Structure 1
Amino acid sequence: MGRKFVRKTKNGQTPPDVMLRAVREVKLHNKSIRGMAKEFQINYRTLARYCNKISPAEVAGDGIFPSLPVGYLKNRSVFSEEQENHLAEYIITASDIYFGLSPIEVRKLAYMYAVHNNVAVRTNWAEKKMAGADWFSGFLKRHPSLSIRTPEATSLSRATAFNKHNVDQFFDNLEEVMGRHQFEEDTDSGRIL
């Protein structure tokens, strides 16, 4: 499936009430399927399929919409909207505590989340033990506030500079500056600690 799908036809976009009216014309008034398909601008094979599927009680009833779904399934997403929001919140929380996730880690997390919640996953998810790239790009489009990318590596000099001596020296300097700043504030207010 492409990541940026653009519909090229109007197939599968017939409103349910129009489909039910066409089926009633065929079933109740004995009109031809092809004639009604042309009149209602529906594919005749689609109309024939619905004529066979819809029960006689529903045809004779006074309902406006058929009980069967009409058209293509609109929601083919793996997670519900609530589950996706929960996943996005977790990713933001992890980022806030300086544990940012790379795209691969987010895809693995999505798979584990689906397994934990007993959500039916696609076969390639189960084989690779992570969500697909198409799901990930769609997830980022649905949640534009997320900025997920592969983190940059820490330079060797920065990693070696983070040692006990340098950290102690930083906190000694911080304590000195804070003490100087606090003394200046206290003398301005007329109080001495």
Structure 2
Amino acid sequence: MVRNYKRKTDWTEKSKKAVKNGQTIRQAAHNYGINESSLWRAVRNVSAGKSLVSLSEASQSRIIFFLEEEAVLVEYLLKASRIGFPLDTSTLKSLAYDLAIRNSKRSWRTQKSAGKDWLKGFKSRHSQLSIRTPEPTSIARATAFNKTNVGPFFDKLKQLYEELSLTPERIYNVDETGGS
């Protein structure tokens, strides 16, 4: 799963200052409640001129798509949804894999699909997307949609258009999923 670790305290800076001010590594580790070996390694790295790798730097190496590449995928998903072809999560993961292969990315080669972690992160980065498994049309709804049931509605609609002199460009649809 996606890791969203938030550091609670900055123990390294405080404990390194304590060691620099004359406290022993063992005392500083005990005072700040940290592992002695971790503090020793942090102090050694600072004295050697190295810095600890931050979480943001480490996560940069695991990025699969750049912002522009991900924007292309989002645009495709929105376009597919607009034309009445919403995609489910498994199709999205497969599309992401195809995009990664086309852009010479070397991830997901074994499963030939994006992983759950990537999907969860993608959904959180693009909250405007509603990616879920589409529900099938019920049998009752499918059988009720026939010429006998729908015909009177369109007769009344035609009559209204003629009475109000409405043109086709003024037609739009609004329902529980949005407008089009």
Mark the structure with the bigger radius of gyration. 1
The residue type equivalent to 2:130 in the other structure is: S
Q: Which runs of 5+ in 1 are unaligned?
A: 59-65, 186-193
Task: Give 2:52's aligned residue.
Answer: 68
Percent identity, aligned pairs only? Answer: 31
Task: Give 1:37's aligned residue.
Answer: 29
Counting only pairs closer than 5 Å after superposition, residues 57-96 of structure 1 correspond to structure 2 as 58=49, 67-70=51-54, 75=59, 78-79=63-64, 82-83=67-68, 85-86=70-71, 87-96=73-82
Task: Give 2:92's aligned residue.
Answer: 106
* TM-score, length basis structure 2: 0.58
Give the deviation of 1:34 after TM superposition.
0.9
Counting only pairs closer than 5 Å after superposition, residues 1-193 of structure 1 correspond to structure 2 as 1=1, 13-14=9-10, 17-18=13-14, 20-22=16-18, 24-25=20-21, 29=22, 31-56=23-48, 58=49, 67-70=51-54, 75=59, 78-79=63-64, 82-83=67-68, 85-86=70-71, 87-121=73-107, 125-153=108-136, 177=158, 181=162, 185=165
Distance in 2 of aligned mates of 1:94 and 1:23: 59
Q: Which runs of 5+ in 2 are unaligned?
A: 166-180
Q: Secondary structure at the match of 1:34?
A: helix
Distance in 2 of aligned mates of 1:39 and 1:141: 39
User: Cα 1:71–1:98, aligned 2, differ >3 Å: closer, same or farther?
Assistant: closer
